[in-house]
Structure 1
Amino acid sequence: MQTDPGGFVTLSIEDQNGIVTVRIDRPDARNALDRQTIAELTEVARQLRARTDVRAVILGGGDRFFSCGVDLNASGDSGRLKLIERREAARAGPDLCRAWEEIEAVTIAAIEGYCVGGACALALACDFRILGKGAMMRLPEVAIGMNMSWQTLPRLARLAGASRAKRMVLFGEPVDAETAMSWSVADDVAPDGQALQVAAAWASKVAALPPIPVRMTKEAINRSIGALDASTSFMDRDQFLLASLSADFAEGVGAFLEKRTPRFEGD
Protein backbone atom coordinates (compact mmCIF):
# COMPACT_ATOMS: atom_id res chain seq x y z
CA MET A 1 0.00 0.00 0.00
CA GLN A 2 1.23 3.49 -0.88
CA THR A 3 0.28 6.48 1.27
CA ASP A 4 0.33 10.11 0.00
CA PRO A 5 2.28 9.22 -3.16
CA GLY A 6 1.96 12.73 -4.55
CA GLY A 7 3.07 14.62 -1.43
CA PHE A 8 -0.18 16.58 -1.28
CA VAL A 9 -0.69 18.93 1.66
CA THR A 10 -4.50 19.08 1.89
CA LEU A 11 -5.24 15.47 0.94
CA SER A 12 -4.52 12.05 2.37
CA ILE A 13 -4.21 9.26 -0.18
CA GLU A 14 -4.13 5.48 0.11
CA ASP A 15 -3.40 3.24 -2.85
CA GLN A 16 -4.01 -0.48 -2.49
CA ASN A 17 -4.87 -3.29 -4.91
CA GLY A 18 -6.07 -0.99 -7.66
CA ILE A 19 -8.31 1.06 -5.35
CA VAL A 20 -7.22 4.62 -4.53
CA THR A 21 -8.84 6.47 -1.64
CA VAL A 22 -8.49 10.26 -1.69
CA ARG A 23 -9.64 12.11 1.43
CA ILE A 24 -9.89 15.85 1.93
CA ASP A 25 -7.82 16.48 5.05
CA ARG A 26 -8.32 19.98 6.45
CA PRO A 27 -10.24 19.18 9.65
CA ASP A 28 -9.47 22.50 11.33
CA ALA A 29 -11.15 24.28 8.40
CA ARG A 30 -14.05 21.77 8.17
CA ASN A 31 -12.43 20.53 4.94
CA ALA A 32 -13.21 23.83 3.22
CA LEU A 33 -12.16 23.99 -0.41
CA ASP A 34 -9.57 26.75 -0.58
CA ARG A 35 -7.45 27.38 -3.65
CA GLN A 36 -4.76 24.89 -2.69
CA THR A 37 -7.26 22.13 -1.95
CA ILE A 38 -9.05 22.70 -5.26
CA ALA A 39 -5.71 22.67 -7.10
CA GLU A 40 -4.58 19.47 -5.38
CA LEU A 41 -7.89 17.70 -5.97
CA THR A 42 -7.69 18.66 -9.64
CA GLU A 43 -4.09 17.48 -9.95
CA VAL A 44 -4.69 14.13 -8.26
CA ALA A 45 -7.69 13.52 -10.55
CA ARG A 46 -5.55 14.20 -13.62
CA GLN A 47 -2.88 11.83 -12.33
CA LEU A 48 -5.46 9.12 -11.66
CA ARG A 49 -6.94 9.51 -15.13
CA ALA A 50 -3.56 8.63 -16.63
CA ARG A 51 -3.11 5.47 -14.57
CA THR A 52 -4.12 2.17 -16.13
CA ASP A 53 -3.64 0.22 -12.89
CA VAL A 54 -6.45 2.00 -11.03
CA ARG A 55 -9.80 0.17 -10.99
CA ALA A 56 -11.78 2.44 -8.64
CA VAL A 57 -11.32 5.74 -6.81
CA ILE A 58 -13.01 6.66 -3.53
CA LEU A 59 -13.37 10.34 -2.62
CA GLY A 60 -13.96 10.97 1.06
CA GLY A 61 -13.71 13.61 3.75
CA GLY A 62 -13.59 13.35 7.50
CA ASP A 63 -15.45 11.01 9.81
CA ARG A 64 -17.81 13.81 10.93
CA PHE A 65 -18.07 15.89 7.75
CA PHE A 66 -17.25 15.65 4.08
CA SER A 67 -16.67 19.36 3.41
CA CYS A 68 -18.33 22.70 4.16
CA GLY A 69 -17.68 23.78 0.56
CA VAL A 70 -15.70 26.67 -0.88
CA ASP A 71 -13.80 28.72 1.68
CA LEU A 72 -15.53 32.11 1.36
CA ASN A 73 -13.00 33.68 3.71
CA ALA A 74 -10.18 32.81 1.30
CA SER A 75 -11.51 34.81 -1.66
CA GLY A 76 -11.18 38.34 -0.32
CA ASP A 77 -8.56 39.51 -2.81
CA SER A 78 -10.51 38.64 -5.97
CA GLY A 79 -11.90 42.17 -6.23
CA ARG A 80 -8.40 43.49 -6.90
CA LEU A 81 -8.00 41.38 -10.02
CA LYS A 82 -8.85 42.51 -13.52
CA LEU A 83 -12.13 41.06 -14.79
CA ILE A 84 -10.31 38.83 -17.27
CA GLU A 85 -8.13 37.54 -14.40
CA ARG A 86 -11.22 36.87 -12.29
CA ARG A 87 -12.76 35.02 -15.23
CA GLU A 88 -9.66 32.85 -15.51
CA ALA A 89 -9.67 32.17 -11.76
CA ALA A 90 -13.34 31.13 -12.00
CA ARG A 91 -12.29 28.15 -14.13
CA ALA A 92 -10.93 26.36 -11.07
CA GLY A 93 -14.26 24.90 -9.92
CA PRO A 94 -15.50 23.69 -13.30
CA ASP A 95 -12.03 22.30 -14.06
CA LEU A 96 -12.05 20.42 -10.75
CA CYS A 97 -15.41 18.75 -11.41
CA ARG A 98 -14.48 17.99 -15.01
CA ALA A 99 -11.19 16.40 -13.93
CA TRP A 100 -13.02 14.04 -11.57
CA GLU A 101 -15.71 13.30 -14.14
CA GLU A 102 -13.02 12.39 -16.68
CA ILE A 103 -11.25 9.81 -14.50
CA GLU A 104 -11.67 6.61 -16.49
CA ALA A 105 -11.83 4.39 -13.42
CA VAL A 106 -15.11 4.27 -11.47
CA THR A 107 -15.38 7.05 -8.85
CA ILE A 108 -17.32 6.77 -5.61
CA ALA A 109 -17.92 9.64 -3.16
CA ALA A 110 -18.19 8.52 0.49
CA ILE A 111 -20.02 11.22 2.45
CA GLU A 112 -20.39 11.58 6.22
CA GLY A 113 -21.98 14.61 7.85
CA TYR A 114 -22.42 17.69 5.72
CA CYS A 115 -21.50 18.06 2.04
CA VAL A 116 -22.13 21.65 1.03
CA GLY A 117 -21.84 23.86 -2.05
CA GLY A 118 -18.74 23.19 -4.12
CA ALA A 119 -18.15 19.93 -2.25
CA CYS A 120 -21.62 18.79 -3.27
CA ALA A 121 -20.87 19.80 -6.86
CA LEU A 122 -17.71 17.69 -6.71
CA ALA A 123 -19.57 14.68 -5.34
CA LEU A 124 -22.13 15.00 -8.13
CA ALA A 125 -19.28 14.71 -10.66
CA CYS A 126 -18.46 11.23 -9.33
CA ASP A 127 -20.11 8.06 -10.63
CA PHE A 128 -21.68 7.02 -7.33
CA ARG A 129 -22.41 8.59 -3.94
CA ILE A 130 -22.58 6.67 -0.65
CA LEU A 131 -24.04 8.67 2.26
CA GLY A 132 -23.90 7.94 5.95
CA LYS A 133 -27.39 7.83 7.45
CA GLY A 134 -26.92 11.19 9.14
CA ALA A 135 -25.28 12.86 6.15
CA MET A 136 -26.79 15.70 4.15
CA MET A 137 -26.13 17.45 0.85
CA ARG A 138 -26.84 21.14 0.37
CA LEU A 139 -26.44 23.72 -2.40
CA PRO A 140 -26.82 27.16 -0.74
CA GLU A 141 -25.44 29.30 -3.57
CA VAL A 142 -28.68 30.94 -4.73
CA ALA A 143 -29.67 31.70 -1.13
CA ILE A 144 -26.33 33.50 -0.72
CA GLY A 145 -26.83 35.60 -3.86
CA MET A 146 -24.92 33.68 -6.52
CA ASN A 147 -25.78 31.16 -9.21
CA MET A 148 -25.07 27.44 -9.00
CA SER A 149 -22.01 27.06 -11.18
CA TRP A 150 -19.20 24.52 -11.70
CA GLN A 151 -21.38 23.07 -14.52
CA THR A 152 -23.41 21.29 -11.84
CA LEU A 153 -26.97 21.89 -13.03
CA PRO A 154 -27.07 19.35 -15.89
CA ARG A 155 -25.48 16.69 -13.67
CA LEU A 156 -28.00 17.28 -10.90
CA ALA A 157 -31.00 17.52 -13.24
CA ARG A 158 -30.11 14.15 -14.80
CA LEU A 159 -29.98 12.48 -11.40
CA ALA A 160 -32.87 14.12 -9.57
CA GLY A 161 -35.09 15.37 -12.41
CA ALA A 162 -35.90 18.99 -13.21
CA SER A 163 -38.33 19.75 -10.39
CA ARG A 164 -36.22 18.24 -7.62
CA ALA A 165 -33.08 19.88 -9.00
CA LYS A 166 -34.87 23.24 -8.85
CA ARG A 167 -35.98 22.57 -5.27
CA MET A 168 -32.46 21.62 -4.21
CA VAL A 169 -30.81 24.62 -5.89
CA LEU A 170 -33.40 27.38 -5.43
CA PHE A 171 -34.25 26.74 -1.78
CA GLY A 172 -30.76 25.67 -0.72
CA GLU A 173 -32.18 23.43 1.98
CA PRO A 174 -30.36 20.35 3.32
CA VAL A 175 -31.25 17.08 1.61
CA ASP A 176 -30.85 14.19 4.03
CA ALA A 177 -29.52 10.78 3.07
CA GLU A 178 -32.88 9.05 2.71
CA THR A 179 -34.25 11.88 0.57
CA ALA A 180 -31.08 11.91 -1.53
CA MET A 181 -31.54 8.17 -2.03
CA SER A 182 -35.18 8.54 -3.09
CA TRP A 183 -34.20 11.35 -5.47
CA SER A 184 -31.44 9.19 -7.05
CA VAL A 185 -28.79 11.66 -5.86
CA ALA A 186 -27.38 8.97 -3.55
CA ASP A 187 -26.80 5.35 -4.52
CA ASP A 188 -26.60 3.78 -1.06
CA VAL A 189 -27.09 4.78 2.58
CA ALA A 190 -24.64 3.40 5.12
CA PRO A 191 -24.79 3.36 8.91
CA ASP A 192 -23.20 6.51 10.31
CA GLY A 193 -19.42 6.24 10.27
CA GLN A 194 -19.40 3.48 7.66
CA ALA A 195 -19.79 5.35 4.35
CA LEU A 196 -16.12 4.79 3.57
CA GLN A 197 -16.39 1.06 4.30
CA VAL A 198 -19.49 0.69 2.12
CA ALA A 199 -17.78 2.67 -0.64
CA ALA A 200 -14.80 0.31 -0.32
CA ALA A 201 -17.13 -2.68 -0.78
CA TRP A 202 -18.53 -1.08 -3.94
CA ALA A 203 -14.98 -0.39 -5.13
CA SER A 204 -14.00 -4.02 -4.53
CA LYS A 205 -16.93 -5.16 -6.69
CA VAL A 206 -15.73 -2.87 -9.46
CA ALA A 207 -12.11 -4.00 -9.05
CA ALA A 208 -13.15 -7.62 -9.56
CA LEU A 209 -14.56 -6.82 -13.02
CA PRO A 210 -12.56 -6.74 -16.27
CA PRO A 211 -11.23 -3.15 -16.39
CA ILE A 212 -11.45 -2.41 -20.11
CA PRO A 213 -15.22 -3.00 -20.56
CA VAL A 214 -15.82 -1.20 -17.24
CA ARG A 215 -14.04 1.88 -18.56
CA MET A 216 -15.74 1.65 -21.94
CA THR A 217 -19.17 1.31 -20.32
CA LYS A 218 -18.61 4.31 -18.07
CA GLU A 219 -17.45 6.45 -20.99
CA ALA A 220 -20.32 5.36 -23.25
CA ILE A 221 -22.97 6.12 -20.65
CA ASN A 222 -21.42 9.44 -19.65
CA ARG A 223 -21.06 10.55 -23.26
CA SER A 224 -24.64 9.60 -24.15
CA ILE A 225 -26.31 11.31 -21.18
CA GLY A 226 -23.95 14.29 -21.01
CA ALA A 227 -23.66 15.16 -24.69
CA LEU A 228 -25.26 18.58 -24.18
CA ASP A 229 -23.73 19.44 -20.80
CA ALA A 230 -21.10 21.82 -22.16
CA SER A 231 -23.67 23.55 -24.36
CA THR A 232 -26.11 24.12 -21.52
CA SER A 233 -23.65 25.17 -18.81
CA PHE A 234 -20.71 26.83 -20.56
CA MET A 235 -21.84 30.28 -19.40
CA ASP A 236 -22.22 29.51 -15.71
CA ARG A 237 -18.84 30.97 -14.71
CA ASP A 238 -19.73 34.21 -16.52
CA GLN A 239 -23.09 34.14 -14.74
CA PHE A 240 -21.15 33.78 -11.49
CA LEU A 241 -18.99 36.79 -12.36
CA LEU A 242 -22.13 38.81 -13.11
CA ALA A 243 -23.77 37.74 -9.85
CA SER A 244 -20.58 38.50 -7.90
CA LEU A 245 -20.74 42.13 -9.04
CA SER A 246 -24.24 42.60 -7.58
CA ALA A 247 -25.15 44.22 -4.29
CA ASP A 248 -27.22 41.12 -3.49
CA PHE A 249 -24.08 38.98 -3.69
CA ALA A 250 -22.24 41.20 -1.21
CA GLU A 251 -25.30 41.17 1.05
CA GLY A 252 -25.73 37.40 0.81
CA VAL A 253 -22.10 36.56 1.58
CA GLY A 254 -21.97 39.16 4.34
CA ALA A 255 -25.13 37.81 5.95
CA PHE A 256 -23.80 34.25 5.68
CA LEU A 257 -20.51 35.13 7.39
CA GLU A 258 -22.28 37.24 10.01
CA LYS A 259 -24.95 34.58 10.59
CA ARG A 260 -27.89 36.91 9.95
CA THR A 261 -30.88 36.99 7.60
CA PRO A 262 -30.03 38.69 4.28
CA ARG A 263 -32.15 41.38 2.65
CA PHE A 264 -32.11 41.14 -1.15
CA GLU A 265 -33.15 44.06 -3.35
CA GLY A 266 -32.57 42.66 -6.85
CA ASP A 267 -29.60 44.96 -7.37
Structure 2
Amino acid sequence: MTIRLHFVGSVAVVTVDRPGALNALNFQMLEEFSRSIDEIRESHAAGVVVVGAGDRAFCAGADVVELRGRTPEQHRGGADFGQQAFAKLADLPLPSVAVIRGPALGGGLELAMACTYRVAISGAKLGLPEIKLGLIPGYGGTQRLPRIVGTEKALEMITSGRAISADEAHQISLVDDVVPEGDAVEIGIRYLHTVSNGYPASVHLARQAVKAASTLDIQAGLQLEAKLFARAVETSDAREGMQAFVEKRAPEFQGR
Protein backbone atom coordinates (compact mmCIF):
# COMPACT_ATOMS: atom_id res chain seq x y z
CA MET A 1 0.00 0.00 0.00
CA THR A 2 1.33 3.43 -0.93
CA ILE A 3 -1.47 5.32 0.80
CA ARG A 4 -1.70 4.53 4.51
CA LEU A 5 -4.67 5.37 6.71
CA HIS A 6 -4.69 5.22 10.48
CA PHE A 7 -6.53 7.00 13.27
CA VAL A 8 -5.19 9.03 16.16
CA GLY A 9 -8.20 9.37 18.42
CA SER A 10 -10.89 11.04 16.31
CA VAL A 11 -8.46 12.24 13.63
CA ALA A 12 -7.87 10.24 10.43
CA VAL A 13 -4.27 10.41 9.22
CA VAL A 14 -3.59 9.82 5.52
CA THR A 15 0.05 9.26 4.59
CA VAL A 16 1.30 9.44 1.01
CA ASP A 17 3.87 6.68 1.33
CA ARG A 18 6.29 6.43 -1.55
CA PRO A 19 9.35 8.18 -0.10
CA GLY A 20 11.81 6.64 -2.57
CA ALA A 21 10.05 8.64 -5.32
CA LEU A 22 9.50 11.75 -3.16
CA ASN A 23 5.92 10.49 -2.69
CA ALA A 24 5.09 11.11 -6.36
CA LEU A 25 1.56 10.04 -7.28
CA ASN A 26 0.80 7.22 -9.67
CA PHE A 27 -2.61 5.89 -10.66
CA GLN A 28 -2.49 3.06 -8.12
CA MET A 29 -1.98 5.64 -5.39
CA LEU A 30 -4.94 7.67 -6.60
CA GLU A 31 -7.12 4.55 -6.39
CA GLU A 32 -5.87 3.79 -2.88
CA PHE A 33 -6.37 7.43 -1.88
CA SER A 34 -9.95 7.39 -3.15
CA ARG A 35 -10.72 4.23 -1.15
CA SER A 36 -9.16 5.76 1.97
CA ILE A 37 -11.40 8.81 1.71
CA ASP A 38 -14.44 6.51 1.34
CA GLU A 39 -13.35 4.74 4.52
CA ILE A 40 -12.98 8.04 6.36
CA ARG A 41 -16.46 9.12 5.26
CA GLU A 42 -17.91 5.97 6.79
CA SER A 43 -15.93 6.34 10.01
CA HIS A 44 -16.52 8.51 13.07
CA ALA A 45 -13.54 10.75 12.28
CA ALA A 46 -13.82 14.40 13.27
CA GLY A 47 -10.91 15.64 11.14
CA VAL A 48 -8.27 14.57 8.62
CA VAL A 49 -4.51 15.15 8.50
CA VAL A 50 -2.65 14.50 5.21
CA VAL A 51 1.13 14.08 5.32
CA GLY A 52 3.95 12.72 3.18
CA ALA A 53 6.10 9.81 4.32
CA GLY A 54 9.71 10.48 5.25
CA ASP A 55 11.40 13.83 5.69
CA ARG A 56 12.18 14.77 2.07
CA ALA A 57 8.83 15.65 0.49
CA PHE A 58 5.12 16.05 1.00
CA CYS A 59 4.49 14.99 -2.60
CA ALA A 60 6.64 15.89 -5.61
CA GLY A 61 3.76 15.60 -8.09
CA ALA A 62 2.51 13.02 -10.54
CA ASP A 63 4.68 10.18 -11.76
CA VAL A 64 5.71 11.60 -15.15
CA VAL A 65 7.11 8.28 -16.37
CA GLU A 66 3.65 6.75 -16.05
CA LEU A 67 2.12 9.51 -18.19
CA ARG A 68 4.16 8.73 -21.29
CA GLY A 69 2.70 6.66 -24.13
CA ARG A 70 -0.94 7.11 -23.12
CA THR A 71 -3.71 8.02 -25.56
CA PRO A 72 -5.65 11.31 -25.27
CA GLU A 73 -8.63 9.33 -23.99
CA GLN A 74 -6.49 7.71 -21.31
CA HIS A 75 -5.10 11.10 -20.28
CA ARG A 76 -8.62 12.51 -20.03
CA GLY A 77 -9.74 9.54 -17.95
CA GLY A 78 -6.71 9.86 -15.68
CA ALA A 79 -7.31 13.57 -15.12
CA ASP A 80 -10.99 12.93 -14.40
CA PHE A 81 -10.12 10.22 -11.88
CA GLY A 82 -7.53 12.36 -10.11
CA GLN A 83 -9.97 15.25 -9.89
CA GLN A 84 -12.67 12.96 -8.51
CA ALA A 85 -10.33 11.50 -5.90
CA PHE A 86 -9.32 14.93 -4.63
CA ALA A 87 -12.93 16.17 -4.79
CA LYS A 88 -13.87 13.40 -2.37
CA LEU A 89 -11.44 14.90 0.12
CA ALA A 90 -12.64 18.46 -0.51
CA ASP A 91 -16.28 17.39 -0.08
CA LEU A 92 -15.84 15.55 3.22
CA PRO A 93 -18.14 16.97 5.92
CA LEU A 94 -15.19 17.50 8.28
CA PRO A 95 -12.09 19.70 8.30
CA SER A 96 -8.82 18.52 6.79
CA VAL A 97 -5.28 19.86 6.88
CA ALA A 98 -2.26 19.10 4.71
CA VAL A 99 1.03 19.40 6.59
CA ILE A 100 3.66 20.18 3.98
CA ARG A 101 7.29 19.28 4.58
CA GLY A 102 9.63 19.75 1.61
CA PRO A 103 8.19 20.08 -1.90
CA ALA A 104 4.48 20.03 -2.68
CA LEU A 105 4.56 20.27 -6.46
CA GLY A 106 2.09 19.58 -9.24
CA GLY A 107 -0.31 16.89 -8.10
CA GLY A 108 1.11 17.22 -4.59
CA LEU A 109 0.02 20.84 -4.36
CA GLU A 110 -3.30 19.93 -5.98
CA LEU A 111 -3.79 17.35 -3.21
CA ALA A 112 -2.94 19.92 -0.55
CA MET A 113 -5.33 22.46 -2.07
CA ALA A 114 -8.17 19.94 -1.78
CA CYS A 115 -7.75 20.13 2.01
CA THR A 116 -9.57 22.72 4.09
CA TYR A 117 -6.27 24.06 5.47
CA ARG A 118 -2.58 23.90 4.64
CA VAL A 119 0.29 24.21 7.12
CA ALA A 120 3.85 24.44 5.82
CA ILE A 121 6.92 23.39 7.76
CA SER A 122 9.79 25.84 7.30
CA GLY A 123 11.71 25.10 4.13
CA ALA A 124 8.70 23.79 2.19
CA LYS A 125 8.36 24.61 -1.51
CA LEU A 126 5.04 24.85 -3.35
CA GLY A 127 4.30 25.12 -7.04
CA LEU A 128 2.62 23.86 -10.19
CA PRO A 129 5.54 23.19 -12.58
CA GLU A 130 3.58 21.33 -15.28
CA ILE A 131 4.18 24.14 -17.81
CA LYS A 132 7.88 23.22 -17.82
CA LEU A 133 6.89 19.86 -19.33
CA GLY A 134 4.59 21.46 -21.88
CA LEU A 135 1.57 20.51 -19.76
CA ILE A 136 -0.96 22.22 -17.49
CA PRO A 137 -2.24 21.08 -14.10
CA GLY A 138 -4.82 18.33 -14.44
CA TYR A 139 -6.01 17.41 -10.92
CA GLY A 140 -7.76 20.67 -10.08
CA GLY A 141 -4.86 23.12 -9.95
CA THR A 142 -6.21 25.61 -12.50
CA GLN A 143 -9.50 25.78 -10.59
CA ARG A 144 -8.52 25.64 -6.92
CA LEU A 145 -5.45 27.89 -7.02
CA PRO A 146 -7.32 30.99 -8.35
CA ARG A 147 -10.00 30.50 -5.71
CA ILE A 148 -7.32 30.55 -3.01
CA VAL A 149 -4.82 33.19 -4.18
CA GLY A 150 -6.71 35.11 -6.88
CA THR A 151 -6.65 34.88 -10.65
CA GLU A 152 -3.58 37.03 -11.37
CA LYS A 153 -1.30 35.30 -8.86
CA ALA A 154 -2.54 31.86 -9.91
CA LEU A 155 -1.88 32.64 -13.57
CA GLU A 156 1.63 33.84 -12.77
CA MET A 157 2.43 30.71 -10.76
CA ILE A 158 0.99 28.33 -13.36
CA THR A 159 2.52 29.96 -16.46
CA SER A 160 5.96 30.40 -14.86
CA GLY A 161 5.94 27.01 -13.15
CA ARG A 162 8.06 28.43 -10.36
CA ALA A 163 8.02 27.03 -6.85
CA ILE A 164 7.53 29.49 -4.01
CA SER A 165 8.77 29.38 -0.43
CA ALA A 166 6.62 28.61 2.59
CA ASP A 167 6.80 32.27 3.63
CA GLU A 168 5.65 33.55 0.22
CA ALA A 169 2.90 30.95 0.21
CA HIS A 170 1.77 32.27 3.59
CA GLN A 171 1.82 35.86 2.33
CA ILE A 172 -0.56 35.01 -0.53
CA SER A 173 -2.74 32.78 1.70
CA LEU A 174 -1.82 29.57 -0.12
CA VAL A 175 -0.87 28.17 3.29
CA ASP A 176 -2.54 29.11 6.54
CA ASP A 177 0.51 28.86 8.78
CA VAL A 178 4.26 28.25 8.68
CA VAL A 179 5.72 26.31 11.60
CA PRO A 180 9.17 25.10 12.68
CA GLU A 181 10.32 21.56 12.05
CA GLY A 182 8.43 18.92 14.03
CA ASP A 183 6.33 15.79 13.74
CA ALA A 184 3.94 16.41 10.84
CA VAL A 185 1.06 14.39 12.29
CA GLU A 186 1.27 16.14 15.65
CA ILE A 187 1.42 19.52 13.90
CA GLY A 188 -1.70 18.68 11.92
CA ILE A 189 -3.68 17.44 14.90
CA ARG A 190 -2.78 20.54 16.93
CA TYR A 191 -3.80 22.79 14.08
CA LEU A 192 -7.17 21.07 13.65
CA HIS A 193 -7.88 21.42 17.36
CA THR A 194 -7.02 25.13 17.12
CA VAL A 195 -9.31 25.91 14.17
CA SER A 196 -12.15 23.52 14.91
CA ASN A 197 -12.84 24.26 18.58
CA GLY A 198 -13.45 20.67 19.61
CA TYR A 199 -15.11 19.69 16.30
CA PRO A 200 -18.73 20.70 16.91
CA ALA A 201 -21.26 19.64 14.27
CA SER A 202 -21.47 23.26 13.15
CA VAL A 203 -17.98 23.04 11.56
CA HIS A 204 -19.51 21.18 8.61
CA LEU A 205 -22.30 23.75 8.30
CA ALA A 206 -19.85 26.66 8.43
CA ARG A 207 -17.77 25.05 5.67
CA GLN A 208 -20.87 24.66 3.49
CA ALA A 209 -21.78 28.32 3.88
CA VAL A 210 -18.29 29.67 3.23
CA LYS A 211 -17.66 27.44 0.20
CA ALA A 212 -20.98 28.53 -1.32
CA ALA A 213 -19.97 32.19 -1.08
CA SER A 214 -17.78 31.83 -4.19
CA THR A 215 -20.60 30.52 -6.37
CA LEU A 216 -23.81 32.17 -5.07
CA ASP A 217 -24.92 35.77 -5.32
CA ILE A 218 -25.25 37.61 -2.01
CA GLN A 219 -28.99 37.09 -1.59
CA ALA A 220 -28.83 33.37 -2.27
CA GLY A 221 -25.82 33.14 0.02
CA LEU A 222 -27.67 34.90 2.84
CA GLN A 223 -30.64 32.57 2.43
CA LEU A 224 -28.33 29.56 2.66
CA GLU A 225 -26.66 31.02 5.74
CA ALA A 226 -30.03 31.45 7.47
CA LYS A 227 -31.01 27.88 6.58
CA LEU A 228 -27.74 26.46 7.91
CA PHE A 229 -27.91 28.63 11.03
CA ALA A 230 -31.31 27.14 11.83
CA ARG A 231 -29.85 23.64 11.39
CA ALA A 232 -26.91 24.51 13.64
CA VAL A 233 -29.19 25.70 16.44
CA GLU A 234 -30.93 22.32 16.45
CA THR A 235 -27.73 20.29 17.00
CA SER A 236 -26.86 18.75 20.34
CA ASP A 237 -23.56 20.61 20.22
CA ALA A 238 -25.31 23.96 19.97
CA ARG A 239 -27.42 23.18 23.01
CA GLU A 240 -24.29 22.11 24.87
CA GLY A 241 -22.38 25.20 23.72
CA MET A 242 -25.07 27.63 24.86
CA GLN A 243 -25.56 25.81 28.17
CA ALA A 244 -21.82 25.84 28.79
CA PHE A 245 -21.73 29.59 28.11
CA VAL A 246 -24.48 30.19 30.69
CA GLU A 247 -22.68 27.96 33.19
CA LYS A 248 -19.32 29.63 32.45
CA ARG A 249 -17.51 26.37 31.55
CA ALA A 250 -15.86 24.87 28.49
CA PRO A 251 -18.29 23.00 26.22
CA GLU A 252 -17.97 19.27 25.65
CA PHE A 253 -18.87 18.78 22.01
CA GLN A 254 -19.84 15.36 20.63
CA GLY A 255 -20.02 16.21 16.94
CA ARG A 256 -23.80 15.83 16.84
Taking structure 2 as the reference length, the TM-score comes to 0.78
Contact kept in structure 2, 1:130 and 1:195, CA below 8 Å = no
CA distance in 1, matches of 2:132, 2:194: 39
Aligned to 1:170: 159
Is 1:179 aligned to residue 171 of structure 2?
no
The 1:85–1:32 alpha-carbon spacing in structure 2 relative to 1, beyond 3 Å, is closer
* Range with greater deviation from structure 2 (100-109 or 86-95): 86-95
For residues 12-35 of structure 1, the C-alpha deviation after alignment (integer angstroms, 9 at most, x for no partner) is 222022111111111112111011
Q: What's the offset of the Cα at 1:61?
A: 0.2
Matches within 5 A, 1:89-238: 89-205=78-194, 208-226=197-215
Report the aligned-residue RMSD.
2.0
For residues 168-188 of structure 1, the C-alpha deviation after alignment (integer angstroms, 9 at most, x for no partner) is 111111110000000000001
Matches within 5 A, 1:58-77: 58-62=49-53, 63-77=55-69
For residues 140-172 of structure 1, the C-alpha deviation after alignment (integer angstroms, 9 at most, x for no partner) is 112211122223223211211122111211111
Is 1:56 aligned to residue 47 of structure 2?
yes
Is 1:16 aligned to residue 5 of structure 2?
no
> Radius of gyration: which is bigger?
2
Q: What's the offset of the Cα at 1:54?
A: 1.1
CA distance in 2, matches of 1:207, 1:173: 33
- Classify the secondary structure of the residue corresponding to 2:174: coil
Contact kept in structure 2, 1:55 and 1:206, CA below 8 Å = no
Residue segments in structure 2 that go unaligned for 5+ positions in a row: 218-256
Aligned to 1:257: none
* Range with greater deviation from structure 2 (88-97 or 111-120): 88-97
Contact kept in structure 1, 2:103 and 2:126, CA below 8 Å = yes
Taking structure 1 as the reference length, the TM-score comes to 0.75
- Classify the secondary structure of the residue corresponding to 2:24: coil
Q: What's the offset of the Cα at 1:74?
A: 1.8
Kindly provide the amino acid, as one letter, of the partner of residue 58 in structure 2: F
Residue segments in structure 1 that go unaligned for 5+ positions in a row: 1-8, 229-267
- May I ask how many residue pairs the two structures share in their alignment? 216
Aligned to 1:39: 31
For residues 164-221 of structure 1, the C-alpha deviation after alignment (integer angstroms, 9 at most, x for no partner) is 1112111111110000000000001011244433222012335653531111111221
- Classify the secondary structure of the residue corresponding to 2:83: helix
Contact kept in structure 1, 2:79 and 2:138, CA below 8 Å = no
Kindly provide the amino acid, as one letter, of the partner of residue 2 in structure 2: T
CA distance in 1, matches of 2:119, 2:97: 7
Corresponding residue to 1:30 among 22, 28, 49: 22
CA distance in 2, matches of 1:150, 1:227: 24
- Classify the secondary structure of the residue corresponding to 1:78: coil
- Classify the secondary structure of the residue corresponding to 1:126: coil
CA distance in 1, matches of 2:177, 2:27: 31
Contact kept in structure 2, 1:49 and 1:102, CA below 8 Å = no
CA distance in 2, matches of 1:168, 1:124: 14
The 1:114–1:210 alpha-carbon spacing in structure 2 relative to 1, beyond 3 Å, is closer
Percentage identity across paired residues of the two chains: 27
